[in-house]
Amino acid sequence: MFFIADLHVHSRFSRATSKNLNLEALYQWARIKGINVVGTGDFTHPQWFKEIQEKLEPDGSGFFKMKNPPREPGLPGAKVSDTTVRFCLSSEISSIYKYGDKVRKNHNLIFAPDLETVSEINARLSQIGNLTADGRPILGLPSRDLLEIITECSERSYLIPAHVWTPWFSTLGSKGGYDSVDECFRDLSHLIFALETGLSSDPAMNWHWSALDRFALISNSDAHSAQKLGREATLFDTEMSYDAMFHALKSRDGFLGTYEFFPQEGKYHLDGHRKCGVSLNPSQTNYRSSGSPMFPQKKKLRVAITGWSLLYRN
């Protein structure tokens, strides 16, 4: 069956998120927008995990349903679709660590098939850092080691690098990342089968780089409020179950593609520096970085290399 998944979402326990971001709100907005599978987000946070256990129950497919789904959309006049909404146990980890003389800052999405696995992952990660301070915890744990831990907890747990082109906090970011997925995950990189591209990035641009060909490129909302749900999403045509969804990403059989935000509206689409009053679109970056005298205040300019500019520069 055709279904729409939004697998990168947060709870109200993450920093800079809406106070109203609870499971009911996610459920209601998923119904309004017609999203079938929604990440729970933040399962590493003890209080949020408690709510997940209280309010959700397994539906037998590896996904979870609400025990008492709210009837009304909570938004006057909103039309509610008849979408079946299921939750997928998910969380995001912010890893800040040193590797090869450079500080790395990577965000990764992690997924688990059942509550027992989440408990185990949380027990392991709580020995490494504080899981209570933030729904998206900051750990001094290399991405590779995070992948090792979640795989040890269950071979049906998966890691997908988040918004991979974000300059400061991602696997391929120009500031805190690496030049390849293999460099980041080393001996375990064969366990990475998908990458999240992020709001500023466009799949068509990513397709130009053959090193990404082996990954399914997914998109999600990274919603910090329930209304933002589905501003990007990933599309499937397969059985609506946890194993079938991840099998589709691994095999590309049943993975249809993504719904995309206009990349031009994304935070990192353009290069530039606000204080210097510089804003460059990709073709300008390409032209000016080749040494044009028109480059304004060249010394002060800090160019955030996004996916777009990197590919245009090649």
How far apart CA 195 and CA 135 sit, in angstroms, is: 21
- The 3-state secondary structure of 23-42, one letter per residue: HHHHHHHHHHHCCCEEECCC
Residues 196-235 that bind Zn ion (CB under 5 A): 222
In the complex with Zn ion, which residue's Cβ is closer, 105 or 288?
Answer: 105
In the complex with Zn ion, which residue's Cβ is closer, 160 or 270?
Answer: 160
Nearest distance from residue 67's CB to Zn ion, in Å?
26
Structure tokens at 313: 């520069």
Structure tokens at 41: 């987000």
Task: Give 302's contacts (C-beta < 8 A, 6+ positions apart).
Answer: 273
Choice from 6, 42, 51, 92 touching Zn ion (CB under 5 A) = 92
In the complex with Zn ion, which residue's Cβ is closer, 166 or 284?
Answer: 166
* Cβ atoms within 10 Å of 33's Cβ, excluding its own: 21
In the complex with Zn ion, which residue's Cβ is closer, 120 or 222?
Answer: 222
How far apart CA 292 and CA 23 sit, in angstroms, is: 52
Stretch that binds Zn ion, among 97-105, 159-167, 183-191, 225-233 (CB under 5 A): 159-167
In the complex with Zn ion, which residue's Cβ is closer, 181 or 278?
Answer: 181
Nearest distance from residue 171's CB to Zn ion, in Å?
11
In the complex with Zn ion, which residue's Cβ is closer, 107 or 144?
Answer: 107
Structure tokens at 201: 């990035």
Stretch that binds Zn ion, among 46-54, 154-162, 198-206, 245-253 (CB under 5 A): 154-162
Tell me the site size for Zn ion, rule CB under 5 A: 4
Please report, as a single letter, which amino acid is at residue 71.
R
Strands 194-196 and 138-139 come out as unpaired
How far apart CA 14 and CA 17 sit, in angstroms, is: 6
Strand partners, 91: 110
Nearest distance from residue 252's CB to Zn ion, in Å?
25
Nearest distance from residue 10's CB to Zn ion, in Å?
6
| Mask for 100-139, x = binds Zn ion (CB under 5 A) | -------x--------------------------------
Structure tokens at 253: 């059989």
CB 29 within 8 A of CB 153: no
Using CB under 5 A as the criterion, which residues of the chain lie in contact with Zn ion when the complex forms?
Answer: 92, 107, 162, 222
